[in-house]
A = this chain, B = another copy of it.
Amino acid sequence: MAYAAGGGKRLRGFLALEGARLCGVAERNALWPAAAIEAVHAYSLVHDDLPCMDDDDLRRGQPTVHVKWDEATAVLAGDALQSAAFEMLLRPECHPEAEVRADLALSLARAAGAAGMVRGQALDIAAESADVPLTLDEIETLQAAKTGALFGWAAEAGARMARADTAPFRDYASALGLAFQIADDVLDVEGDTAKAGKRLQKDAEAGKATFVSLLGVAGARERAEELVERACDAVAPFGDAAGTLKALARFVISRES
């Protein structure tokens, strides 16, 4: 599978392209939401790596932006990437209908903002200083905002462009996002820093509740596998055409980075 050969990077952009393909959207149009979601994800990583947030110095096997340049540049680069994401969706080349462009951009603003990804980040920070570790329900709520909102947007973008039903893609992405996060927790405990391209075992060091600390490694793997099945069921109506999305879901829990 070409995606896996790429090392599992650019997952959100890939989701956008694949969802669009299933809805019959031309690739030259689908590339815009794919690039936009990667820009939002990149902005969130650059800000998340800052010393005042997660304080990471390695990302995708390279020095993080504030290490390579400086903190002010990292703040500004993230800010500019967010603006760039909206610009990409709103360019006439993205889609001939302004109604569709406005819908893509409005839904991204909601998925990325205070009710979506930023809320997830804030909940995550609050969890670090909480007296009591989070429960499983609370972690799922946190992850649905932090990761799930952008996964959902990416998977649905093609359906929005084709004015098709977004529900199968939303269900697929919500299960995939949670499986992805569980796999991330497993990787954090069992992974290899060189392959992952980022610092690992941070959560255990910080004493944070994770899917692994609550379910154990075996329990977490089992839950991830159930979620992958749920994701595959959600896109079953597309039949063989959804083969890549199904393979992607399976890949997400077997990846090493």
Which chain A residues have a beta carbon within 8 Å of chain B's beta carbons?
43-44, 47, 50, 52-53, 70-73, 75-76, 78-80, 82-84, 86-87, 90-91, 97-99, 101-103, 105-106, 108-110, 112-114, 118, 121-122, 125
State the majority secondary structure of interface residues on A. Answer: helix
- Interface contacts beyond A43-B79, A79-B118, A87-B110: sample of 13 additional A-B pairs, CB < 8 Å, sorted by A: A50-B72, A52-B71, A53-B72, A72-B125, A76-B121, A83-B109, A83-B112, A83-B113, A86-B106, A87-B109, A87-B113, A90-B105, A101-B102
Residue pair A53, B75 in contact (C-beta under 8 Å): yes
Residue pair A83, B82 in contact (C-beta under 8 Å): yes
Q: Which residue of B lies closest to A122 (CB)?
A: B76
User: 29 A-B pairs, CB-CB below 8 angstroms?
Assistant: A43-B79, A47-B75, A47-B76, A50-B75, A52-B71, A75-B75, A76-B121, A76-B125, A78-B79, A79-B82, A80-B113, A80-B114, A80-B118, A82-B82, A82-B83, A83-B113, A83-B114, A84-B109, A84-B113, A84-B114, A86-B86, A86-B109, A87-B109, A90-B105, A90-B109, A91-B106, A97-B98, A98-B98, A98-B102
